[in-house]
């Protein structure tokens, strides 16, 4: 399986976080053993550490799930909200990456 590209993951996560109301971002920090920092208004709130194993997509899904919890707690609303129903989408490992999934309609929103 492909190894995680932290820069790409951080860029995609930042893009998705742009749909939330508050100011959130994800960036790669550290040079020797880089991790993704999840920031709220520029301050690191938690670290997304991915072990470079075959299970990293699973780990990323769990990490995104943590980010989702923090954002929803901050916003006191669902994020990201399913465009079809009134519920939050679920970060799900699929085909070597993590997608936002609606369990009800089995639709994937990348």
Among 104, 108, 109, 110, binds Zn ion (CB under 5 A): 104
> Is 7 a residue that touches Zn ion (CB under 5 A)?
no
Q: How far is the CB of 67 from Zn ion (least distance, A)?
A: 19
Give the C-alpha separation, 103 to 93, whole Å.
13
Q: How far is the CB of 92 from Zn ion (least distance, A)?
A: 13
Among 8, 22, 84, 109, binds Zn ion (CB under 5 A): 84
Pair 71, 62: CB distance under 8 Å = no
Q: Cα 24–64–30 angle (5° rounding)?
A: 70
Q: Which is nearer to Zn ion, 9 or 68 (CB)?
A: 68
Give the C-alpha separation, 50 to 84, whole Å.
31
The binding site for Zn ion (CB under 5 A) comprises 82, 84-85, 102, 104
């Amino acid at each position: 399986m492909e190894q995680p590209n932290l820069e790409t993951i951080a860029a995609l996560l930042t893009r998705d976080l742009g749909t939330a109301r508050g100011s959130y971002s994800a960036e790669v920090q550290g040079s020797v053993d880089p991790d993704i920092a999840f920031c709220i208004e520029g301050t690191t709130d938690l670290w997304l550490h991915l072990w470079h194993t075959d299970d990293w997509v699973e780990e990323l899904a769990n990490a995104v799930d943590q980010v989702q919890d923090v954002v929803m707690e901050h916003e006191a609303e669902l994020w990201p909200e399913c465009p079809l129903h009134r519920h939050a989408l679920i970060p799900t490992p699929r085909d070597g990456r993590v997608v936002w999934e609606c369990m009800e309609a089995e639709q994937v929103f990348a």
